[in-house]
Amino acid sequence: MTPQEKSMKKIEETLLQVGLRIAKRGEGALFVVGKVEYTPLIDQSVPKFNANENPKLLESLALMDGAVILDKSGNVNAYGVMIKSTTTLKNFGTRHSAALSAAKSDNLVVIVSEEDKKVRIMKSGKIVMQLDALEKDVEKSVSSAVDLLESVGAGTLGTVGAGLLVPALGIALLPGIVVFGSAYYLGKLLTKKFRS
């Protein structure tokens, strides 16, 4: 694993853990790892810091209106920002539309829904995984979920509509975690995991 891959894995774990804590309290948040157009809604007075080294500060900033923007090393570049939405997601609010717009190219987007207390991971314009914050001990599965997220990759995964609107199309591999996408690929992945 390259240093950049290790860094991404660590930031994914941090964002999922922070997202689960926020969801359990019934609040929402939006994290974008990568580059996206945005407009600051508040003064950016907190000095830049690494989210892996200070997840409590990350959590506090995420509770403000707007999104938190990070680079692929986990450094927080902006918070309390409005993402330029280019797409709307029917039957969902502005946070989900902003998330969908931000989930382009190789950006990683983590959206925390205050309504259903779920944490969703988006890549390449698709929801690839969903964690249920109300599932008992879901935090213990985060590391395994990140490993699975890295091994599956966004290219094989299903559409946003299928992931959000028809959760039955997802496959629950870990407690409280659903992976969406190609049943063929996931079947091969499961077969490989059980053989090892």
Structural domain boundaries enclosing 130: 3-195
Q: What is the pLDDT of residue 119?
A: 92
Taking the whole predicted model, whether its pTM rises above 0.95 is answered as no
CATH value at residue 90 = 3.40.1700.10
For the record, the structure tokens of 193 come out as: 């995991």
Instruction: Please tell me the distance from the alpha carbon of residue 173 to that of residue 85, in angstroms, as a whole number.
Output: 32
Supply the mean pLDDT for the chain.
Answer: 79
Domains held by the chain: number: 1
Which residues are CB-contacts of 101 (< 8 A; sequence separation ≥ 6)?
36, 83, 84, 85, 86, 87
Instruction: Please tell me the distance from the alpha carbon of residue 108 to that of residue 122, in angstroms, as a whole number.
Output: 6
Give tens-digit pLDDT for 168-193. 445 555 556 666 654 434 444 444 54
Give tens-digit pLDDT for 32-72. 999 999 999 999 999 999 999 999 999 999 999 899 999 99
